[in-house]
Amino acid sequence: MRWVDSGDVRLALFEEGDPGRPTIVLVHGYPDTHRVWDEVATLLRDRFHVVRYDVRGAGRSTAPPDRSAYDFDHLIADLGAVLDAVGKPKVHLAGHDWGSLQGWEAIAREGIRDRLA
């Protein structure tokens, strides 16, 4: 695990698999944590660099001081911070529950969508 700073929160980032392989970022929903992807990560880690993180306010990640900081602007900024930390020009993205909504929003955001495979 390593930490990624994103504005007013610290995100817990978890990686497995070969960083030289294509990267897939798995985003969980609420009230889950990155652990919701455990079985999927096990299946993917031999073929992908698997990246998971606890979204703001979940798991080991810190919570923002105000509930208004759970809007899409903040959540997509968090995804951007994770992508910056991973350092790959393009990644695959998969989401579950609220994580899928973040994925849809990411596709619509300039500066993020061009980083998605």
Note the pLDDT tens digit of each residue in 11-26. Answer: 999 999 999 999 999 9
Domain count within the chain:
1
Output the CA torsion sign for 29, 91, 114, 74.
Answer: positive
Q: Where are the alpha helices (DSSP H) in the chain?
A: 38-44, 72-86, 98-108
Judge residue 89's burial from the number of C-beta atoms within 10 Å of its C-beta, 0-12 exposed, 13-18 middle, 19 or more buried.
Answer: exposed
Q: Which residues pair with 15 in a beta bridge?
A: 51
> How is residue 109 written in tokens?
């955001």
Q: Report residue 111's pLDDT band, with 50, 70 and 90 as the boundaries.
A: very high
Structural domain of 84: 2-115
Give pTM, 2 decimals: 0.96
